[in-house]
Structure 1
Amino acid sequence: MKNFRIKQKMWSLGGKFTITDEAGIPSYEVAGSFMQIPKTFTIYDMQGSQISHIQKKTWSLLPKFYVSLNNGSSFSLKKDLSFFKPHYTIEGLGMKIQGDFWNMNFTLSQNGQTVAKISQEWLRMTSTYNIEVYDDQYADLVISLVIAIDYVKEIEHSANSSGR
């Protein structure tokens, strides 16, 4: 089992930050594009090898992201039209998501086995997540999924803030 902590920087052009393990040792680097269309994020391990690439679909009514992992697998995340509680669809992942997706307290499972647990810390100036990955082979996938979900939430928050 591995534990990770994602804590984004307050002032980072494009979204560049480090993801640490439970001991505070850097495990991943995330580099978001700055003023680029479409918006992308690239995740690297600490040796500089690319782990995944996340790309926002350029023209869509609701946010949609494509995630490509370095092992050749990929999946997509899209926000569905809903009126009361946000709902998302993840295609190509082969996992089940249970819990409060919008508030970032949920678990990922495959074939009835829990793969990861994700929780967001509240009352923080920046997005802060605690991630428990129960099977190390899913660490890259889970980290990539959380980065994509967080950006969808950021888009929603920005849209709601500017509409007031």
Structure 2
Amino acid sequence: MKTYLVKQKFRLGGERFDIKDDRGNVEYQVEGSFFQIPKTFTIYDSQGRTVSRITKPVLTLLPHFEIQLANGSSFYIRKKWTFWRDKYQFDNLGLRVEGNIWDLDFRLLDDRGQTVAEISKELFHLTSTYQVAVYDDQYADLVISLCVAIDYVEMLESSSS
């Protein structure tokens, strides 16, 4: 099991921040595009290799993101039309989500029902801070990419209100 700490550092310009493990070592680096259309985020591992690219298309009725992993797979996060609470749909994720994803307190389970990761938002911080526990290392890149995308959606939603 590996634990990561993700602190929200998004700004409307260029973004660059580190994701550290529980010992304070930099495991991932997130770099956002500056004035680029469509908006993209690239996540690098500690050796500087590209882990994933997150793209937010511009001309869509409701927000959605495509996350392309370095291994060639990709999945999508799409906002669904609702009147009450925000709802999102995941396409091609390959994992089941349990819990409250938009309050950032949820688990990801594989097809056998085994928990592969847990993400929880820490309270009482000036910026959004998430504790990410990954139980199966093969899912680490996917989970970190998902967390960064959700964090960006949360920043967009809070800045628009």
Scaled by the length of structure 1, the TM-score of the pair is 0.92
Partner of 1:86: 86
Partner of 2:143: 142
SS at match of 1:59: coil
Report sequence identity in percent: 51
Partner of 1:152: 153
The Cα shift of 1:13 comes to 4.1
The Cα shift of 1:8 comes to 3.0
Partner of 1:39: 39
Partner of 1:15: 15
Distance in 2 of aligned mates of 1:78 and 1:11 = 22
The Cα shift of 1:122 comes to 2.2
CA RMSD of aligned residues (A): 1.4
Report if aligned partners of 2:10, 2:152 keep a CA contact under 8 Å in 1: no
Does structure 1 residue 70 correspond to structure 2 residue 67?
no
Distance in 2 of aligned mates of 1:44 and 1:154 = 21
Partner of 1:132: 133
Unaligned 5+ segments in structure 2 are none
In structure 2, give the amino acid aligned to 1:113: Q
Distance in 1 of aligned mates of 2:12 and 2:59 = 25
Distance in 1 of aligned mates of 2:31 and 2:10 = 14
Q: Deviations over 1:77-119 (max 9, x none)?
A: 1111122221110100111101011110000001211110000
Partner of 1:115: 116
Unaligned 5+ segments in structure 1 are none
SS at match of 1:132: strand
SS at match of 2:140: helix
